[in-house]
Amino acid sequence: MRQAYKTALAGAGLLVALWLLGGAPQSETLRARSALQGTATPPAQELPPDAKTLELDKPLTESIDPNTSIRFYTFNAKGGQLYRITLEPTSGTFYTTTTIMTLDLETIIGGTIGENLISGSLVVRPPADGTYAISVEFADIKENSPATGSYEIGISLVQPK
């Protein structure tokens, strides 16, 4: 339970820091205009500049930086299409929490959470065409240790059966 609390606290702290560094949240007018236009892509003011873009069926192998507990990615989506996001460790011993959200980091459309979640995949259906964000948070299995290791993250289309 202590690990879940730490992860939640770290996530909340990061969002506050991103808000402070990135400026104020979108105005209601801009948010309403985006909704009317049927797009999920607002200005990317809060996303870190080192966020990588995931391409369909081209997974990335990433190393965990022990100085940070979260990494961000983006992907382009068609509204209503099903996408599978996969995350598999390739080395190390760490837990993960994966969250898929709008690019302004305000609306969560899917994710995983769990103190004992090591790897897996999830399927999401973005509500509108646009660019979406994925956050991957890390925690070492041993408490009070920075997470180390590497993982593979990817995205693919899901074809309904």
What pLDDT is recorded for position 159?
87
pLDDT per residue over 90-101, tens digit each?
A: 998 888 889 999
Rounded to an integer, the average pLDDT of 37-48 is: 57
Confidence grade of residue 147 (pLDDT, cut at 50, 70, 90)? confident
**pTM of this prediction?**
0.70
Q: Are 47 and 101 in contact (CB under 8 A)?
A: no
Domains and CATH numbers, the chain: 2-157 (2.60.120.380)
What pLDDT is recorded for position 36?
38
Rounded to an integer, the average pLDDT of 117-146 is: 86
In whole angstroms, how far apart are CA 77 and each of 55, 96, 124, 133, 151? 10, 23, 10, 11, 23
Confidence grade of residue 83 (pLDDT, cut at 50, 70, 90)? very high
2 sits in the region (left: phi over 0; alpha: psi -120 to 50; else beta) called alpha
Q: 29 or 120, which is more confident? A: 120
